[in-house]
Amino acid sequence: MPDDLFSQVGRNQFDGADAQVSGAGESFDSNSPSLPTGGGASSAARRYFHPGAHAPLAVRMRPRSLDEVVGQKEALGAGSPLRRLIEGRGDSSVILYGPPGTGKTTIASLISAASDRHFEALSALNSGVKEVRAVIDNARQRLIHGRATVLFIDEVHRFSKTQQDALLSAVENRTVLLVAATTENPSFSVVAPLLSRSLLVQLHSLTDEDIATVLTRAVEDPRGFGSKVRLSSDALSQLVALSAGDARRSLTYLEAAAESVLADNAAHSGRDSRGDSARGGNAKEPETANGGDAKEPETANGGAGGKGNEGVGAQRSAKGGVARGGEQEIATNQPVITLEDIKRSITKAVVRYDRDGDQHYDITSAFIKSIRGSDPDAALHYLARMIAAGEDPRFIARRLVIHASEDIGMADPTAIQVAVAAHQAVSFIGMPEGRLSLAQATLHLATAPKSNSVISSIGKAMADVEAGKGATVPPHLRDGHYQGARELGNAVGYKYPHDDPLGVVKQQYLPDDLRDARYYEPTPHGHERTISQRMEKVRRIVRED
């Protein structure tokens, strides 16, 4: 896309982007030193990443400088490649990988605004190979005139292999500086040649302290609510817990609660104004039965307001005015977002889980490892996360069946019976009741004695077979039921164990080249302790060990 055409699109699409933020009390500073106002990438990127007052709170609060970035200290440390890119001192393409709401788009915006490079953005939803090649062709023309191009691709994992391949030469030759973001593991979602040509930076979920900082800033900053509302400490804690390390989601939740509180406050103020007018003047404060002024309601501790309403800002008194916050009296004209407001606006926490991505594999892995580690509480936690995220219960049941043999086996032979029963129960009961069968099987397996003798023994046997060992069956074990079999020596000399009082006889069962092989080694755990004792006696008879 030519420079002038992009600029015109930008003017049309983002007209008024630097207008005053509603309720903020001041406008965005379009001349911020952290976002250069020269042409090209800085202005176009600013319009793309910071569209203005109409944008959601999470977009309005997007950091505009490194100083505003919360978290990711390791990735953004002094001298790091990513920091050099943001400071305009690097040329490497970068793939930002991490969970939602961890700063991928923010970092992309800072890189894009760091220099006089031209800015382009592509979406996997409406861009094909044709659009990718057009961007690259235009970037190549700009290079002739000494100007580089920043290409931002959000959710690059949604690009097809063909689309990603179309970027290779441009990234390798630095025709464009690619800034790509993805929530999916690039090892699975990005083609290897593109990975090898780019700097891969992994971002991590924000800590509770980071999320609290983000929320506090949004309440106080003019780009957010500009202290038009306040946030109780209980409400802040609840928002932090609900966000699960996702800054964007925490701001979305805050915005929903704040809008509800502001709307209620506006409606209440309107009713109060109409009531005062109807009484023909200013309403007086109510008096007590003794003729004195009414006191602020006190808590059981004798303080004004209630515990849990001290947080970002002051407490909300019954009718506004002044609330006592420690030794200092603080004006509380602003409505306060309380814990009840949060509960009313947001019903439940987000469960980070994607059935085709990292979270699917990570949580499944943690589930199985918790069972293997005999921690029923952790196993139930990961089971609950899978169920809450809508994982197919049959998938969970299949994993339990596999685990019953792989990690328990003969230490508790009933484990596989319970797992299979859970699979059958889920199949004909369905959800949500099926969660009970899954939980029961999970608890049985997590508390059962553990043994990996099943998987290790079949593994050793398979290795010998794949190595070509044991090609022949001992003649006395061969089928002797068909006519002429005995003339061939089949089944001749076979000893029937039930004819012996012990039910065990000395006899070779393995092929000649494997006659001394020992695949099954019982552990001393659970039922295998008994098996181990018996096998010592049996092997002495069968093999004369």
Residues 6+ positions from 429 with CB-CB distance below 8 Å: 437
Rounded to whole angstroms, the Cα distance separating 391 from 155 reads: 23
What pLDDT does 375 receive? 94
Class at the top of the CATH hierarchy for domain 207-275+311-350? mainly alpha
| Whole-angstrom distance, CA of residue 115 vs CA of residue 93 | 14
Number of Cβ atoms within 10 Å of the Cβ of 56: 12
The per-residue pLDDT for 332 is 54
Burial of 519 by CB count in 10 Å (0-12 exposed, 13-18 middle, 19+ buried)? middle
- Looking at residue 311, its pLDDT comes to 56
Are residues 406 and 421 in contact, defined by beta-carbon separation less than 8 angstroms? no
For residue range 351-367, list pLDDT tens digits in order.
555 555 557 778 889 99
- Contact of 178 with 167, CB cutoff 8 Å: yes
3-state secondary structure labels for all residues of 20-49: ECCCCCCECCCCCCCCCCCCCHHHHHHHHH
Q: Which CATH superfamily is domain 468-542 in?
A: DNA polymerase III clamp loader subunits, C-terminal domain (1.10.3710.10)
Q: What's residue 392's pLDDT?
A: 85
Residues 249, 255 contacting (CB under 8 angstroms): no
Is-contact 325 363, C-beta < 8 A?
no
Q: Where are the beta strands (DSSP E) in 276-427?
A: 311-312, 322-325, 328-331, 336-337
Measured distance CA(273)–CA(265) in Å, rounded: 12
- Phi, psi for 491 (deg, rounded to 5): 70, 5
Task: Specify the pLDDT at position 147.
Answer: 86
Q: What is the DSSP letter of 325?
A: E
Contact between 149 and 132 under an 8 Å Cβ cutoff? The reply is no
DSSP H helical ranges for 87-232: 104-112, 129-144, 161-165, 168-172, 186-189, 192-196, 208-220
358-447 — its CATH code? Answer: 1.20.272.10
pLDDT in tens, 455-509: 999 999 999 888 888 878 888 878 877 777 777 777 778 888 898 888 888 888 8
Q: How far apart are CA 111 and CA 95, in angstroms?
A: 12
Count of H-run helices and E-run strands, the chain: 21, 10
Beta bridge partners of 178: 151
Q: How far, rounded to the nearest angstrom, does the alpha carbon of residue 429 sit from its chain's CA centroid?
A: 30
Residue 174 CB neighbours (<10 A): 16
pLDDT of residue 272: 57
The predicted structure's pLDDT at residue 347: 61
By the 8 A CB rule, do 164 and 127 touch?
no
Q: How many residues does the chain have?
A: 545
Long-range CB contacts for residues 186-191, cutoff 8 Å, separation at least 24:
186/95, 186/97, 186/157, 189/156, 189/157, 189/357, 190/95, 190/156, 190/157, 190/164, 191/161, 191/164, 191/165
Domain 3-204 superfamily per CATH: P-loop containing nucleotide triphosphate hydrolases (3.40.50.300)
Q: What is the pLDDT of residue 91?
A: 82
* Per-domain boundaries in the chain: 3-204, 207-275+311-350, 358-447, 468-542
Q: Identify whether the C-beta of residue 127 lies closer than 8 Å to the C-beta of residue 92.
A: no
Q: Which two tokens stand for residue 334?
A: 């602003």
What is the residue type of 521?
E
Residue 487 CB contacts under 8 Å (≥ 6 apart), including other chains: none
* Tens digits of pLDDT across the chain (545 residues): 333 333 333 333 333 333 322 333 333 333 333 444 334 445 766 677 777 677 889 889 988 888 888 888 888 888 888 888 888 787 889 999 988 888 888 888 888 877 777 888 888 777 888 899 999 999 999 999 888 888 989 889 888 888 899 999 999 999 999 999 998 888 888 999 999 999 999 998 899 999 999 999 999 999 889 888 899 999 999 899 888 888 998 998 999 888 888 888 777 766 655 555 544 444 444 444 444 444 444 443 433 344 444 455 443 433 333 333 333 334 456 889 998 888 887 765 555 555 555 577 788 899 999 999 999 999 999 999 889 888 888 889 999 999 999 999 999 999 999 999 999 999 888 888 899 999 999 999 999 999 999 999 999 999 988 888 887 888 887 887 777 777 777 777 888 889 888 888 888 888 888 888 888 888 898 898 899 888 888 888 888 76
Task: HSE, CB side, 13 Å, CA atoms: give it for residue 180.
Answer: 30
Asked if 439 and 383 touch (Cβ cutoff 8 Å), the reply is yes
The predicted structure's pLDDT at residue 399: 93
Name residues whose C-beta falls within 8 Å of residue 74's C-beta, 6 or more positions apart in sequence: 80
Q: How does strand 311-312 pair with strand 230-232?
A: antiparallel
The verdict on pTM exceeding 0.85 is no
Looking at the DSSP bridge assignments, the partners of residue 191 are: none
CA 306 to chain centre: 35
